[in-house]
Structure 1
Amino acid sequence: MSSTMQSVAGGTPRALTIAGSDSGGGAGIQADLKTFAALGVYGTSAITAVTAQNTRAVLSAFELPLEMIAAQIDAVMDDIGALAAKTGMLASPEIIQLVAERVRHWNLRLVVDPVMVAKGGERLLQERAIETLKSTLLPLAEVVTPNLPEAEVLVGHSVRGTVEMREAARAIHALGPRYVVVKGGHSADAPVDILFDGQEFQELRAERVQTANTHGTGCTFSAAITAFIARGWDADEAVVRAKRYVTGAIQHADALHIGHGHGPVDHFWLLDRGLERPVTVDDEKDDTV
């Protein structure tokens, strides 16, 4: 694994999130932009859907017209630009196809968070869009980050322990992404994420945090990967650093006291510790990020 930072042309690192808006601020576009900011990246956005939600539930959702989604992506890329982008809520086959076309056009390094179901159980991906996601978007992804339920949908069978997670990672990798991270947070065992690059597996471990405040963890993790790629890290090292970041965000979540359901993680926990620009520190002994 290389941890040598690549040079990033154009000054301030920039990243683009293409996802749904969470009015509660814990997930979606809002979580992505908070994560980008916390990790020293200038974040831009293309909103695919507007949701009315809070820490308890998604109450309503409205998909934006395709031409508006395309216009947002093109407006950002034509002027501001971005090295890396991530996707979140892409509800329909038509939106997925559009985003895939614009990603190809702008030659973006892509992180795909295959958002399917909200924390409260509400479906955010149409059933008919699953095959489009697999055939159209995953082949463009540098990294894809399914949790266990999402991995099960992608591979068509149950995924539980680490053996099945490795099998699922291999099957998803065959769909075209360069790296696959199967996240083990839904497992009853100690949470282990499996990172697969097509040849080797790596287990990313963390102690389980006893908290109900995990809203937006998937968005935050994939956004952190995107941010580290935008800062110039190789994708595998970006995943490792993102895992450390999101673990800390979960560990500090209870201090926020937001809402009465599944509260958000603490995106700015590093800043609370006085580390103003944590990822500019290149000390290999630094365990934080």
Structure 2
Amino acid sequence: MVRSDWRNLNGSWEFAAAQKGEAALSGVGRHEDHVWYRRNFTVSSKWGGKRVLLHFGAVNWETTVYVNGKSFPAHKGGYDEWTLDITDALAASGPQEIVVGVDNLVDANPGQAIGTQRLKPGGILYTAATGIWQTVWLEPVSTAHIGNLDLTPDIDSNALRVTVTPEAPDNVRIKATQVKITALDRGKVVGEATGDASAWKTGPAGFGHDSNSVRTEWTTDDIWIRREIDLPANLPAKLAVSIIHGDDAQVYINGVLAADAPDYAGQYTDIAMTDAGRAALKPGKNVIAVHCHNRVGGQFIDMGIVKAGAVANVQR
């Protein structure tokens, strides 16, 4: 997703570590467990009245961000992008400060995905890379804006399924919105579709047909369901999606794919939440969206979020 107005923060940052840093491109050449980055920036006067988002393409591994001294929830993961709304931390004018702290314990942290990186490299194992390694940028957006676009080609139907996830601050309720999608091929319009959020209906789970567990009828080939939930700040680090479905289902959290459940499951099955899906969960307001495509037999879909390896339900 590309917007025309944004500011790139790549370039020189102040840098500090236990000693210095790591990768050859940084000019250092060794691994450090803990590093700090710092830089100043200014906000364009043209961005007045907008929310300001701070995007990180990827940082390895556990990252805490401070803007003008205000801390934001830590992000864990070295390969996925994430976004912070830093508007409320910004000064009214003048220079703004970003400080980024990164911890990367590599194979000393059992829960960390490390690939072939090691603290003691050798053979096919190489020196671990710590810190910012993808683009960092700022972007102004409206108070209510598009947070994510999910595009899923359907080759058999010669179609493209588009999921638009709106975002807004927790104290702002997004009103029903109409979305128009236009597909172009070399500048020529080849397809259009309109989605109207006000047309969504409400009903209790589970959704399906011809089952004692059905509380809301579903008789078509496809169904989309969504729900806004409020979550506490102390969520478990490892979560799973508990789902019963017929047939193919996908679960999205704030527009990010959190679980893919192909085929059919006649009883609740726990599927480990993707790292990107877990990272998309935040304290406060979250939106869960589920798509299910029924190919044969009876329709049914219901799901919840559970602690990985536990029976207790966190939110269903």
Would the TM-score normalized by the shorter structure come out above 0.5?
A: no
- TM-score normalized with structure 1 length: 0.23
**Structure with greater strand share of residues:** 2
**Structure with greater helix share of residues:** 1
